[in-house]
Amino acid sequence: MSMGQIEAVLTAPGAKFEMETVEIDGRPTRVWRNAPPSLPFLLTATRAYGPRLISVYEDERVSYEANHRAAAAIAAHLQALGVGKGDRVAIAMRNLPEWIAAFFGVTALGAIAVPLNAWWTGPELEYGLSDSGASVAFVDDERHERLRDCYARLPELRHVIVARSRVPLDGHASRLEDMVGTPHDWANLPDRALPPIQVAPDDDATILYTSGTTGAPKGALGTHRNLMTNILSSGYAAARQMLRRGETPPAAPEPKTFLTVIPLFHATALSATLMGAMASGSTLVFMRKWDTVRAMELIERERVHMTGGVPTIAWQLLEHPDRDKYDLSSLETIAYGGAPSAPDLVRRIHQEFGALPGNGWGMTETTATVTTHSAEDYLNRPTSAGAPVAAADVKVMDAEGRHEMPVGEVGELWARGPMIVRGYWRKPQATAETFVDGWVRTGDLARVDEEGFVYIVDRAKDMIIRGGENIYSTEVENCLYAHPAVTDAALVGVPHRTLGEEPAAVVHLAPGATATEQELQDWVRKHLAAFKVPVAIRFSPDVLPRNANGKILKRELRALFEDRVAA
């Protein structure tokens, strides 16, 4: 079946993926008719899964019923603290059962959840808390330690709730365990309903921090509809792929077990994974940190069906010398996004695991999924990011954003649909530049073929994606500029077989000044998260080459790293 034929079948009147047109921010928008209306609606619906596990972390096995009880208790506690609709509540912790319960407890009140990058340093986390105006923050013990010296500079932050603290707390910090106990205790919490707060589909739900290539990180303001859209988008993509293979989609989604190693503060894990998993009663298996051997142990022990996130994970599973010692036969899908992947990876996943590869395209501003790519379509088009789901539209525009490019021509990719966020939190100028009449200008250069498959040919200028983590050049460059010996600096991406690419820098030192590669790397490491530290630094005897507009010619600088052999 062609993509058009499949769309007609799956979206027909009365079908599961039927669409309707509603008005969002004054614009008629095509939406999934059967999408859940809100996050609290979804949470309440998951009680039907009762004892089925929502998460597994170490020896903690949390059921859907236990998660609901914990989320309801957290919502009641926050309400007692004065948190209400529209208030911002931050979450800064690694993937833990508490993350899910806190997120749904916050959004059950109509408050806005602000997931912060757990890899950020203390000052970076401080920026997120300050910019969002969060009044409450849920943190784990590691993030609490990073923020300890920052709290005094955050007058709007009234309450800090710490999970898994191993030391006595002081100031305005309290223990999450005093509120709900440990995950082992959640099943015995009182059975209570969520607070009777009216939450509409287009109410604000999340602020997820992204960043352009210039300036400070921007908070993408998402709605309940944005997140709920992904549930039907994922289901539609799966059904479409089955029909492409000549199979009949099941009447209801089958529960699966996911080894979830991508952080929940990413739109990929939060929207593309957690939302669909909860809707289908699936189980998320968490790891404290990525370790290939531990991952294989968990795949074998928990009979994991799906994993991935970034190509790095697939490569490390494929190439580990002890892979044959583990039973990985339960794997059905290894899916990823967020970084370039080699066509060879697609083939090897299928040949060596017997699993189907999966990929897709989206961004924080699109709440993850816009296009999806899997199974035979992916094997046949290994350089594509797939076709958009039925509720999304994409187009390729010229550089000025005035004219749509013909099929097959390269231009800037624009996207629209019910998954597009409202805009950037408290940044009207940046919002106006990026969001145009319901479309988001992605900054990615792409082409679209006759069947609607999207091919990303380049990414947003100056952004480096290292194993799925976005590194924005100006942030690292500004850090290098702050070093007293540096007068000129540029960050470029150098290819890496498993990570996709890594950051590398070229600097020009002030006359008479000295600095070593290690010294500058330590300088960046002191101020920014470790994944942003350049893996190599070259020294230029002259100021860096620029064009007539004064912009550094980064393409020329990449040639300085051609001798670097990536792992």
**At which residue do the structure tokens 């040949």 appear?**
351
* pLDDT surpassing 70 at residue 567: no
- Is the pLDDT at 548 greater than 50? The verdict is no
pLDDT band at 469 (very low <50, low <70, confident <90, very high): confident
329 band by pLDDT with thresholds 50, 70 and 90: very high
Helix (H) or strand (E) holding 338: none
Beta strands in 326-448 (DSSP E): 333-336, 356-363, 368-374, 387-388, 393-397, 411-416, 423-424, 435-436, 439-448
Q: Which of 441, 17, 41, 439 is nearest to 234 (CA)?
A: 17
What's the predicted TM-score (pTM) here? 0.87
User: What integer pLDDT is reported at residue 554 of this predicted model?
Assistant: 84
In three-state secondary structure terms, 473 is: helix
The pLDDT tens digits of the residues spanning 183-197 come to: 999 999 999 999 999
User: 556 burial class (0-12, 13-18, 19+ CB within 10 angstroms)?
Assistant: middle
Structure tokens that stand for 69 in this block: 């009880």
The pLDDT tens digits of the residues spanning 336-363 come to 875 556 677 888 888 999 998 898 899 9
Residue 45, token pair as written in the block: 């619906």
What pLDDT, on the 0 to 100 scale, is given for residue 559? 86
Query: Per-residue pLDDT for 549 more than 70?
Result: no
Tokens matching residue 112: 């806005």
Q: 306-324: per-residue pLDDT in tens?
A: 998 777 788 889 889 999 9
pLDDT in tens, 271-307: 999 999 999 999 999 999 989 999 999 999 999 999 9
* Domains of the chain, earliest start first: 3-34+221-458 (3.40.50.12780), 39-199 (3.40.50.980), 463-561 (3.30.300.30)
Cβ contact 457:430 at 8 Å: no
Maximal CA-CA distance, the chain: 75
CB atoms within 10 A of CB 152: 9
Strands 469-472 and 463-466: antiparallel
In this prediction, residue 459 has a pLDDT band, given cuts at 50, 70 and 90, of: low
Q: Are 341 and 378 in contact (CB under 8 A)?
A: no
Kindly tell me the burial class for residue 58, based on how many C-beta atoms sit within 10 Å of its own C-beta (0-12, 13-18, 19 or more): exposed
The 10s digit of each residue's pLDDT in 490-541 is 999 998 888 888 999 999 998 788 999 999 999 999 999 999 999 999 999 9
